[in-house]
Structure formats: C-alpha cells, structure tokens
Structure 1
Amino acid sequence: MTGPTADFSPLAAELGRLLGDRGVSIDLETRQRASVDGCRMSPILAAKLPLGLADLVAYPSTAEQIGAVVAAAARHGVAVTPRGKGTGNYGQGIPLHDGLVLDTSRARTIVEVGEGYITADAGAVIAQLENAAWAAGQQLLLYPSTAQSTIGGFLSGGSGGTGSISHGTISGGPFVVSLDVAHATGDPQLVHVTGADAQSYLHNFGTAGVIARVTVALEPLQPWRAVYASFPTFAAASGVVRELGSLSPTPRLVSADPAELAEALPADAAVPAGRASVRAILDESAVDRAAQIVAQRGGTIEDVREGAQAIMKMSMISYNHPIEWLQRAHPSTYFHVEVGGDELIDRLEDVTAVYPGSLLHLEAQRGRPVGMLAGLYEDERTVLAGFTALEELGLSTHNPHQWTVDVAVERTRALKAVTDPHSLLNPGKLPPERDASKESNPLMSTGQAS
C-alpha cells in the first residue's frame, strides 16, 4: 500500500500502541532524514536524490519489537525499508517505494558476552560491541571502518574491514554464528537461523528478512599496536602493504595513501604532509619486524600507539573513509570505484592512469590487496567506461554507484519468495530478474554499513 492516495494512519495507530508515542513518527523532517543514507559519497547517486520518501518511521527498541513492526507492516501491505544509522554509502537504506522506514538504532541491547561469541540486538553499535569484547579479554573477528554503524546494518549492507586480512568478509567465513530474523509474513515471531541459513541474509539489504538480533564470533584479545609510517613516494608505500600484510601474527589492518590523499585525513603529527602514509594495526610481537621492513623500503616509523581508542581511530581512517575525507576537502570533485588485485601494486601507474587525476587508497586484505580509486568526476559515462579498462588490467571491480543487490542474487530471490511473499521488504533493491547477473562478487561494498 503505497502511493499518493494510500492511508497509513491505521498502521501508524497500531505502531503507536506497540511502540508508544515516541516510537513512530509521521513528521516530514523526520521522514526526510530517515530517507537518505550516505549515498552522497557517489556523485552519480547524489544527483538522483530524492529517490524516495518514507511515509512513516518506526523506532523499535528490542529485537522482538522489530519482529512485531515488520509483521504489522506486512498485514497492512506497507513496504518496509530497514535502517541502522544510515551510514551505508550506496542507497541500501533509501525507501525507493516509500512506505515505512524501520529504524533499528534504538534496539541496542548487548544480550550476552560469552566465551567466543557476543549476542546483541541489531541496533547495537559496532564500537560498543568491541568495547564489551575487550572488557572480557576478547575481540570481534572483524568490523567495518564505520565503527559507529550498527551490527545489523553492517551484516545487511557491509562486507569487511578491520580483521579481514585474517577472516575475510562477513560472507562465507566464521564471523556470523546465528541470526534472529523478521519475515514479512504477518507473523511477529522471529526466525532463528544458523550456519548456511544465516549466510543467506547477509549483504542483501534486508530484502529477504530484517535482521533483529545477531550472534557473532569473538577470539582472544591480542596486544595490538597502531603503527604509523611515512614514505617519500606512494610506489614505495604500496609495496610495503603486501609485506606488512604477510606478517605473522597476521595484522588486523594495513592501509596506504599517497601524500595528496593522506593530507585530507584528520590532522595528525604521525601523518606528515608531503609524504605517503602507511598505517597498520599489528600484534606487538610484529612491530620490530615491521620497522625493519619500513626502513628497508626507505620509510620512517612516525609513531606506535596502543590502547582501544588508538586502534579504533586507525580503523576509522581506513577503507572508504579516506575517500570521504578527500571529498570533504574537495567538494564535488572526486568519485570512487572499488578495485582489487595484485595489479594495484604491480601496475600502479597503469591503474591510476585509467581516470584523470586519480588517487588510490590501498588496503591489505585476505589473499590480495584491495583499494578505492578516486578520480576527478566528469560524468557517469566516463566513470562506467573506466570499469572496462580496470578489468582489462586484471582487476576485480565493484560499482558503488548503484543500490541493487549484486551478491547471490538468485539465492536471495528464492529465499524472498518464501519470506516476503508480497515483496514488501526493501522493494527496488533486487535487480529485475532478467538482469540478475553475478552470483558472487569477490569485492562487494567493502567496509561500509548502514
């Protein structure tokens, strides 16, 4: 039930009884804020805004209330777009078909911290989970660079981040233990899924079910150090990424930026102007070896820091975040594409020549480097044409300028037929059946979440 003549007052009244007066809103400004995520990072998507406008916004405060809200919307035939904190960069959280935006950010209870796992409601913030794990002598296997995002948003729209060198991405790995999911069948009872069944709900933007509660894996806490180094050239810095990423114990993070990109980051004496920057989260036992590698490559160790705050700070200037800082420093100038492969290091000049004035942010990841290539924005046609050139260089690519699911599309479509029989969950985010293309994408939308 959408469109200019739809009457949402019955659903609003039911949600008011369920959640209280502050648990549902039809205020225009509230609806506008809830209808945009971080997609302005893409100049292509930003030019298409507004893409949709919520008719009402619900704020459940528990996993069980998430299930009840989805059930109520399904009985009223109203589209549901799940939302965490709106930090996703690709329009996953925009209500393309209007209807109800289900904001999960108040459902933030940490239910249990056990030996090797943590259970929390979907709106729990990643940094909150990591702090709780550290207090118990453990750590998350991985988390996104947007550490203030929600765990449900990360699993619904993200992929990898800090910890991915060891553990890969959220899909197919050991990170997700189980999920409690709301289906759009009218039944408020959450569905508990584990193993391969849980994998089917990851990175599909809530199109087959709304994640309400999660259990993810923990491992013993390591003595991490945040290591800052600088180099006279980005070529030297990029070579070090592969070497540092191969250290033992495996690093949690290794990032590199050319001087022009590093200078856009928040001011820090350990990131000196005019020099390429390398930043790594290393086990304490690997710091001396890392210093030797840096010196052999002509670099300088600028600082070594410890503590949860220092580690989290370094995480939050990795993956997409350097590009976001670059865009803040130079508004309406840069776009980015996601790329992966050894060619990022071995053919650096060829890669950066694809787009005029491009800058490469580089990350070590499991098995190969990945990166965010920022180019000077001209028009959409020029951006898309560059994908062919990048793939001809041997790189994998991901297009961050679109909002449709592009991982395990047919699996999601088959599941959705059962869990969302009236196609109410985040409609518009699955591609038309004739265009369903990639069953897997080795890069996905790395490190971001809604």
Structure 2
Amino acid sequence: MPDIAALLQEIADVPHSADPAVVRAKSRDMYAISPLLRKALRGREAEAVVSPRDNHELRAVMRWAVRHRIPLTPRGGGTANYGQSVPLAGGAMLDMTGYTGVVAVSDTNVRVRSGTLMGEIDEVLRAHGKELRIHPSTRSDSTIGGFIGGGSGGMGSCRWGMLRDPGNITAIQVMSVEAEPRLEELRGVDTLLVQHAYGTNGVMTELELPLAPAEAWKEAVVAFPDFMDAARFGIAFAAHPDIARKLASVQEWPVPRLMKNLGDIVPEGHSMAMVMVAGRHLAEFRALVAMHGGRVVTCVAEGRGRYGAPLYEFAFGHALRQIQKHQPRTTVLQGMFPPQELEASVARLHDAMRGVGPLRFEIFYSQGQLVGMGSPYVVFESEAQLAGLVDQMQALGMNVANSHTTGVRAVGIKAIDERDAAFKRAMDPHGLLNPGKLGLEEKESAAVTTLATKGWATKRPAA
C-alpha cells in the first residue's frame, strides 16, 4: 500500500485530511449497534479522507485512486447499521457530504446531488407542496446517496413499498473508477444495480426520485392491553386503502418502558402501535383504532411530541438505539414475516418467544405484498444464542437477513447475480470501491459473521 498521506499533495485542491482523529471518525458508522460487528470491525480504518465537492474534484480523486491503486470507501452521513461504510482494506474514505444541492424540482420528481441531507431536501420540497416518498429513521443525518446506496426502506414504505420496488427510484447517475472516469445514467430497473450496493460498483453523483404531495403528518401512539390486538391493528392500518400513512410499528410491552424518552405515555402492561397518519385522515384512523379496541394516548403534529424526537426515531433501526441508551446489550434480528399469512406468522412467533423477549415489527409493502419485519428483543449473550434464535425463526417460516454482518450478499437483503458482477467489472475494473463488501470477492469473509440466515426472498424486477 502506498503512503497515502504523502500522495494527498497530488490532489491538494480537493479537501482532504490525514489527521488520525478525523480519519478514525469518518471510518465508522453505526455498526456498534451489533455486538458481533462491534468485534468484527474493530480497528478497521482508512488512512485518509477525501471530500470532493463537484464532478471536477471527484474525477481528480478517481484518477488519483486508479493511478496509485488506492481503495476508496464512499461515505454519506455515517448512519448505516451494517458497517456499509467501514473500510475493510484501508485506503481513503470518499466523504460525499460536501457534494450537495438540489438540482431540479418538477411536479413529479426531484433531482439532487448525492451528499445532500434528506431533511434539507424535504425543506426545499415543502415550498413546492411536495415531499419525498420514503425516508429512514435517521432522516436528520442521512444523505440521499447514503440512504439509497445502503438502505432498503423506511418511513413511507407502508404506502409506497421498499426502495427497490418499481417507481421508487427514477434515475441514478454514477461515476466509474477508471483512469478516465465515466458518468453513467441508470434509469428504471437498472438503478437496482447500485441501490443497496454499499457504493461498491460506482460512486453516486446525482439521484432523481419521485415525489408525493406534502402532507400535514400526525404521529400517534395507540395502546392495547393485548399484543396481538396491536398487531392486528398495525396490519389493518398499513393496508388501509383510504388512509395516507407513513409508519406502522408495533412494540410489545415492556418496550414502551425500555424506551425511556416515552416516559409513561403508554399505560402499564400495554403494547403499542406507533403510526404516522395524514391529518386529513384522522377520522378514519380513529375509527380503525376503535374497531380494534385500542386507545390513542398521544396524537400530535410530526416532531411535536413530548418525547424529544420525531416518533419515527423510535421505529426501525432507531428503536434499538433508543433501548440501547439504557440497556446496551440488547439486540435484535431482521426476520421477514411471510406475506401470505402475516398475522398468523406474527402470532406463531409471539407464542414461541414467550419468555425470550418482547416482540417488535414494522409493517410495509415489498414487491406488492404487505409484509412485516421484526424479531424479539434479546439481551445478547453469545453468537450461538443468536444462531439458535435464527434457527427458531426460520423454522417458523420466516426469512431472516443477517443484520450482524457486513457485505451485500452476506446480509441477504439484495439479490446478487451476474448482472451485478458485470456492472462491477465495468465500473470498477481495478476493484477499488469498498473492497470486500459486494460478495464477489474472497476478502469479504474477513468481516462476515456466520449466522445461518436465509436472507430475504427478493427478486429483481424484469427489465
């Protein structure tokens, strides 16, 4: 490996740093949420950080990396949970947070530069009466490129589906890592080549995404004495054809008390459903709550709750972060409940996990079907403990993705085939982008944990 710090003078016009504290901070994301990744990725760091602000500077970095065969790990806001932006082969962090700006807004789409924060995009869109369809629980810190490149879904998926579902990404422009870098514009199904690929096969420069009408969102917590009543309500809410919705998350007692910021909003012994609903559909929402025997214990404008953060920061990956503030050994798995028997499969897991830990799951659409994703919360003891839990869940008919490993193929959310391999070879012929992460290289095994997960059963849509 060349002396990267010394070679930075060749790209002196591009913001950069070899300061150990800066490099260490930029070499991390939120992987420590997993006890297994905390161990597997310990000490994995780059040797420098480069922060291009435009295509001219990005091309200079690409040429520099190819000239000296320097690995590059693209990074956005650093909010990923799988170590997507942790370098396995040293090299330089490609910090894209200076590569910002809204390029164009139309009635149907927005085009943005990849380092733009998602919250800032929605601020611009509000002036046009529009909003993004889908965003993560880490919206305030996530860049759009990081979310599309490392994420799979989030708020809005209970209405619009996952990022990979048709119509949720219009176009992605990517730059190759070659002596003469190329810009490629991917549209439609071709965007799935780089979606959830962790920046392994091209550097995202611009993204074009479909818009939805801006809503006056309300966030509500609904309490239920019985967990399965909460589950049935959550499923019915997420499937309701006449309610504009953004979040459906169900958490079993005592999770409402484990999330200390919620205080005593939820009555003792009650499970809860956390939802986001358009203000114009509150009447339909309240009728559905009554039908399922629930009680609305709080309903406020988005971000105005007395729990100190938007309600979506208590769902998806953020739910575990809330609990880990006070119980740092708590962990979860990512099990997918089969769509053809969603309620029954939740009930089976709930019965099987009595005494193991409280259940949680989010409800959303995937490939046109309503699904649930979740598991019990458990206090981590060992990898063998998690392996046994994986076996139990899969024996009950669930598909489990490995949220305690790094690498696209190893995690098991994105299907990898020869098209991905060919695109990787074309865009990154020297194998410099995030080496070891796509699942095509033998190096990946160095940071992969060995839970015997089946992964989520996903199919690439036909071109």
Q: Is TM more than 0.5 here?
A: yes
Aligned to 1:447: none
Match of 1:375 among 363, 374, 378: 378
CA distance 1:164–1:283, change in 2 (3 Å): same
Tell whether 2:354 aligns with 1:351: no
Match of 2:206 among 213, 219, 222: 213
User: Does the 8 Å CA contact 1:263/1:273 hold for their aligned counterparts?
Assistant: no
Structure 1 position 373, deviation (Å): 3.3
Structure 1 position 266, deviation (Å): 5.3
Looking at structure 1, the residues matched to 181 and 354 of structure 2 have their Cα atoms a distance apart, in angstroms, of 50
CA distance 1:304–1:292, change in 2 (3 Å): same
Looking at structure 2, the residues matched to 52 and 128 of structure 1 have their Cα atoms a distance apart, in angstroms, of 31
Corresponding letter in the other structure for 2:8:
A
Match of 1:264 among 244, 258, 263: 258
User: Does the 8 Å CA contact 2:345/2:397 hold for their aligned counterparts?
Assistant: no
User: Does the 8 Å CA contact 1:122/1:152 hold for their aligned counterparts?
Assistant: yes
Tell whether 2:325 aligns with 1:328: yes
Instruction: List per-residue Cα deviations over 1:127-182 (Å, max 9, x = no partner).
Output: 11122222210111111111021100001110101111222111142121111212
Structure 1 position 398, deviation (Å): 0.8
Aligned to 1:160: 153
User: Does the 8 Å CA contact 1:261/1:322 hold for their aligned counterparts?
Assistant: no
CA distance 1:33–1:344, change in 2 (3 Å): farther
User: Does the 8 Å CA contact 2:400/2:454 hold for their aligned counterparts?
Assistant: no
Greater mean alpha carbon deviation, residues 228-237 or residues 88-97: 228-237
Aligned to 2:449: none
Looking at structure 2, the residues matched to 414 and 294 of structure 1 have their Cα atoms a distance apart, in angstroms, of 50
Aligned to 1:413: 421
Q: Please list, as runs of the form range in 1=range in 2, the aligned pairs for 1:189-200 lying within 5 A after superposition.
A: 189-200=182-193
Looking at structure 1, the residues matched to 154 and 86 of structure 2 have their Cα atoms a distance apart, in angstroms, of 23
Higher RCO (CA 8 Å, separation ≥ 6 residues) = 1
Looking at structure 2, the residues matched to 368 and 100 of structure 1 have their Cα atoms a distance apart, in angstroms, of 39
Greater mean alpha carbon deviation, residues 222-231 or residues 345-354: 345-354
Greater mean alpha carbon deviation, residues 140-149 or residues 242-251: 242-251
Corresponding letter in the other structure for 2:391:
T
Q: Please list, as runs of the form range in 1=range in 2, the aligned pairs for 1:43-122 lying within 5 A after superposition.
A: 43-122=35-114
Tell whether 2:306 aligns with 1:305: no
Looking at structure 2, the residues matched to 302 and 122 of structure 1 have their Cα atoms a distance apart, in angstroms, of 39
Length-normalised TM-score, structure 1: 0.89
Structure 1 position 189, deviation (Å): 4.2
Match of 2:220 among 224, 227, 230: 227
User: Does the 8 Å CA contact 1:11/1:73 hold for their aligned counterparts?
Assistant: no
Looking at structure 2, the residues matched to 272 and 313 of structure 1 have their Cα atoms a distance apart, in angstroms, of 17
Looking at structure 2, the residues matched to 305 and 246 of structure 1 have their Cα atoms a distance apart, in angstroms, of 22
Residue correspondences, number: 436
Looking at structure 1, the residues matched to 355 and 424 of structure 2 have their Cα atoms a distance apart, in angstroms, of 42
Looking at structure 2, the residues matched to 155 and 239 of structure 1 have their Cα atoms a distance apart, in angstroms, of 31
**Aligned-pair identity (%):** 26
User: Does the 8 Å CA contact 1:408/1:439 hold for their aligned counterparts?
Assistant: no
User: Does the 8 Å CA contact 1:338/1:443 hold for their aligned counterparts?
Assistant: no
Greater mean alpha carbon deviation, residues 30-39 or residues 150-159: 30-39
User: Does the 8 Å CA contact 1:355/1:386 hold for their aligned counterparts?
Assistant: no
Length-normalised TM-score, structure 2: 0.87
Looking at structure 2, the residues matched to 385 and 324 of structure 1 have their Cα atoms a distance apart, in angstroms, of 23
Aligned to 2:170: 177
Looking at structure 2, the residues matched to 64 and 442 of structure 1 have their Cα atoms a distance apart, in angstroms, of 40
User: Does the 8 Å CA contact 1:205/1:405 hold for their aligned counterparts?
Assistant: yes
Structure 1 position 438, deviation (Å): 11
Match of 1:390 among 381, 384, 393: 393
Structure 1 position 113, deviation (Å): 2.0
User: Does the 8 Å CA contact 1:164/1:365 hold for their aligned counterparts?
Assistant: yes
Structure 2's unaligned 5+ residue stretches are: 446-451
Greater mean alpha carbon deviation, residues 249-258 or residues 189-198: 189-198
Greater mean alpha carbon deviation, residues 108-117 or residues 281-290: 281-290
Structure 1 position 115, deviation (Å): 1.6
Instruction: List per-residue Cα deviations over 1:206-232 (Å, max 9, x = no partner).
Output: 111111211111122234322221122
Looking at structure 2, the residues matched to 157 and 355 of structure 1 have their Cα atoms a distance apart, in angstroms, of 33
Tell whether 2:116 aligns with 1:124: yes
Aligned to 2:243: 249
Aligned to 1:448: none
User: Does the 8 Å CA contact 1:144/1:160 hold for their aligned counterparts?
Assistant: yes
Corresponding letter in the other structure for 2:63:
A
